[in-house]
Homo-oligomer: A and B are copies of this chain.
Amino acid sequence: MKYSTRGPRAPAGEPLGEAGSAAKPLVFSLMHAAHTVEARLEAALEAVGLSIAKHGVLQLLADAGEPLTLSELAEQSSCVRSNITQLVDRLEAEGLVQRVDDHDDRRIIRARLTRAGVDRHAAGAKAFAAVQAEVASAISSSDRAVLDRLVSRLG
C-alpha cells in the first residue's frame, strides 16, 4: 500500500525534549523516501506508457533474452502466479508480449516479447535509468553506505 507520507500528527506519548530534532519516527522517513522515488519512477514510466509492474515483466524478459514461463516470471518478481497471469493478460492485450505454448509440456505457457515489447522496454529502461541517475546524484556515496547498512539490518 501507499503508506501515508505524514506521520502521526501528535504522537500519543510524545517524549518532549527532542524538540529541534524533528522526532518523526524513522519508519515514516524511510517510507516517505521510498514512496517519493516510486512516484518518480511511475511518472517517468507513465510517459512511455508503462507502469512499474509492466516494466518489471518486460525487464525480466529482456534480461532473459528468451521467453520465460509465467511461473518463472512470478518467482523472479516475488509475486504469486495469478498476479503474473493478469499482468501478462494486459501486456498481451497491448501487444507487448505474446503467450507461447510449450509443445513438450502442455501445462507450460511462456511469455515472449514482441517487437513492440522490445521497443517499449527500451523506452522504459531509459526512463527508469534517468530516474535512477537523478536519485543517485542526490546522494553521496557515504549516504549510500548508510542506506545499504540499513537495508542489511532490516532485511
A-to-B contact residues, CB < 8 Å = 1-6, 8-10, 12, 22, 25-27, 29-38, 41-42, 51-53, 56, 59, 63, 76-79, 125, 131-132, 135-136, 138-139, 142-144, 146-151, 153-155
Q: Kindly identify which residue among B33, B79, B138 contacts A147, using a CB–CB cutoff of 8 Å.
A: B33
Contacting A27 at CB < 8 Å: which of B2, B6, B132? B132
Given A41-B27, A125-B12, decide whether A1 and B51 contact each other with a Cβ distance below 8 A: yes
- 30 sampled A-B residue pairs with Cβ under 8 A: A1-B42, A1-B51, A1-B52, A1-B53, A3-B38, A4-B56, A4-B77, A8-B63, A10-B63, A12-B125, A25-B136, A26-B132, A26-B139, A27-B135, A27-B136, A29-B151, A30-B30, A30-B34, A30-B37, A30-B135, A32-B155, A36-B151, A36-B154, A36-B155, A135-B154, A143-B150, A146-B146, A146-B147, A147-B147, A147-B150
Q: Given known contacts A4-B77, A30-B33, is B132 in contact with A25 (CB within 8 Å)?
A: yes
